[in-house]
Structure 1
């Protein structure tokens, strides 16, 4: 007889909480949401921070971390992650891989547990021989994992169709939006004036297009306007572009580089804004959860018109889209969203229907239950 499953769901991914990114936050919210619904969930990840324990429980989710031998760009080299992943996922009722992931193919190969993969985004790296080899290897690994998956979840068909992995995604694609918890009510403690307050929240990295946002904001003539840039730049896989952002800021006294915004102040951050921005410049960004969270907080969004990233604005109408990197267009849109904001009540309602955590967890439970092998039904 087959060995009894030890978990309802086991998830493997490169980085997990307390690391902060859209991918890790989505995996965390799904894991913790399903655990809160009574499912046993284990996460296997890398021991990317030596100050963290190798094993712990976080909000009902068991987290196992495999030692890291080296770091390559945004990724890590962890042979033990493969062994730990195969062992843990092999004992679960359903397995999940969060892609892109270097080790995905090795974990998936020969895995008897039904596998549901979530493909978040393509790996996008600067030109160069090492980066080109890394991208080719990761893509090949992800293709193998998706071929062995009974389902491949994506956050939007829009992004998936434009992905270089489309041929591997399409045969078993299921569209499930990321869970977007509304921020807690906050006080506008980040406001300094009565002028427009523009915000960004996320990692300070190349693909976010922050230099374009900064230069576009500097063309806004209002001396009472403020640009609040929140996000980690000290502990970012692959390195941050904070020096380039500072150079773009120049001597403009209206711009604030806030650094990491702790969870307990997220509500205050959104409550301080008139417009939220996500000025991404390439397809590494597949959705942009932070902009959906801003909408749930009642803040209209300026976003780049690129596959996936444009979907929250397209689905809700609560914001505007601009061509990526078009600084004059960003300047005009910032001023228009402040002076002629879309209807806030309608925007919040549409965002709640599209991105609520409960609706997304319902969809994932259906997907995971369908994946269970016939011998368990």
Structure 2
């Protein structure tokens, strides 16, 4: 699960519900998944994977299967970064719209540097040939390594942020201030800084709920680092993966949502908007794209990235002087409604397809 996969799914299923015929071509990251199936009106075709390298996969059939589906279609939507982007746009028999989510971020090392450069090269080639490039925000796009090739055909469309159903506060323990994080437990999320800030808050009644996958995570989990920072403090709960059917319970259990990302490879942060739609203000890092939802809604606070004292003070502000919940939910709903996002994608696809 990631922002990229959520956007691809929600746009595909949203357009299918509007009467579009949609096929998604993806890698079969889990061998137990079927090669062909239909999910919520979307036909899904999966290419076998030979190997996994870093955050990516190596396969032999993804390009061939994508081109086969393109020949039956009017327009293609590639989700980048994608190692096959250059070849697919070169061979595509139909117009291509590329959605560029973020720059590739990998740990140091010769293999990772080579992988990043290969993906960037392919993405540049693909973006040059695209009829349009969708980005989640111009704020992020202007600071991307690929800005020169994004700029000519850029269209800024925020990700679709699907609200969760109301839930029960089943993760809550006591009446104290509850802070939540939800996401992959990886380097760029900066979760250990949030743990340090929470501990510095020195509030015996407070709780920190950390939800997210930390086994078999692309790019490598840092959960042991997070556990080391948390120590034996029983106010901090590592919940593991929170399934969709319990997201409402998670957001109902917290008073503030924290997204303490530490570098510019986090491009938006859908989870913070989902929290806003559930009535939860956000504490976010001052990073391109990530800061946009709080800037547009005023529902939360923005602090410097990786700054533990600033994170602590931000948590204290949200605890002691929480923003207006009704106004915050309304602002988030107006700025990031799924229907307006689908309207914009429909317009881009229709124009590209002629």
TM-score of the pair, normalised by structure 1: 0.93
**Per-residue deviation, residues 2-38 of structure 1 (Å, max 9, x unmatched):** xxxxxxxxxxxxxxxxxx1111001100000000111
Residue 253 (structure 1) shift: 1.1
Correspondence for 2:337: 356
Correspondence for 1:210: 191
**Residues 86, 108 of structure 1: 8 Å contact kept:** no
Which range is displaced more, 333-342 or 232-241?
232-241
Cα distance in 2 for residues equivalent to 1:338 and 1:286: 27
Whether 1:313 and 2:299 are equivalent positions in the alignment is: no
Match of 1:123 among 73, 79, 104: 104
Cα distance in 2 for residues equivalent to 1:369 and 1:353: 24
Whether 1:99 and 2:118 are equivalent positions in the alignment is: no
Aligned residues: 354
Residue 60 (structure 1) shift: 0.6
Cα distance in 1 for residues equivalent to 2:298 and 2:292: 10
> Equivalences for 1:53-132 in 2 at 5 Å?
53-132=34-113
Correspondence for 1:187: 168
Correspondence for 1:366: 347
Residue 89 (structure 1) shift: 2.0
Whether 1:246 and 2:227 are equivalent positions in the alignment is: yes
**Residues 124, 283 of structure 1: 8 Å contact kept:** no
**Residues 146, 168 of structure 1: 8 Å contact kept:** yes
> Equivalences for 1:216-235 in 2 at 5 Å?
216-235=197-216
**Per-residue deviation, residues 42-86 of structure 1 (Å, max 9, x unmatched):** 000001101111111111110100011111100001121111112
TM-score of the pair, normalised by structure 2: 0.99
1:53 match: secondary structure: coil
Correspondence for 2:319: 338
- Aligned CA-pair RMSD: 0.8
**Residues 207, 236 of structure 2: 8 Å contact kept:** yes
**Residues 181, 257 of structure 2: 8 Å contact kept:** yes
Correspondence for 2:236: 255
1:239 match: secondary structure: coil
> Equivalences for 1:278-297 in 2 at 5 Å?
278-297=259-278
Where in structure 2 are there 5+ consecutive unaligned residues? none
Cα distance in 2 for residues equivalent to 1:290 and 1:216: 20
Cα distance in 1 for residues equivalent to 2:89 and 2:71: 9
Correspondence for 1:7: none
Residue 235 (structure 1) shift: 3.0
1:152 match: secondary structure: strand
Correspondence for 1:196: 177
**Per-residue deviation, residues 186-236 of structure 1 (Å, max 9, x unmatched):** 111111111100000111111000010011111111111000000111131
Match of 1:145 among 110, 126, 145: 126
**Residues 23, 45 of structure 2: 8 Å contact kept:** yes
Residue 150 (structure 1) shift: 0.5
Cα distance in 2 for residues equivalent to 1:371 and 1:33: 19
Match of 1:46 among 8, 17, 27: 27
Tell me which stretches of 4 or more aligned residues in structure 1 moved more than 3 Å.
none
Cα distance in 2 for residues equivalent to 1:48 and 1:145: 23
Cα distance in 2 for residues equivalent to 1:151 and 1:235: 34
1:162 match: secondary structure: coil
Residue 170 (structure 1) shift: 0.2
Which range is displaced more, 284-293 or 232-241?
232-241
Where in structure 1 are there 5+ consecutive unaligned residues? 1-19
Cα distance in 2 for residues equivalent to 1:181 and 1:111: 31
Cα distance in 2 for residues equivalent to 1:85 and 1:283: 30
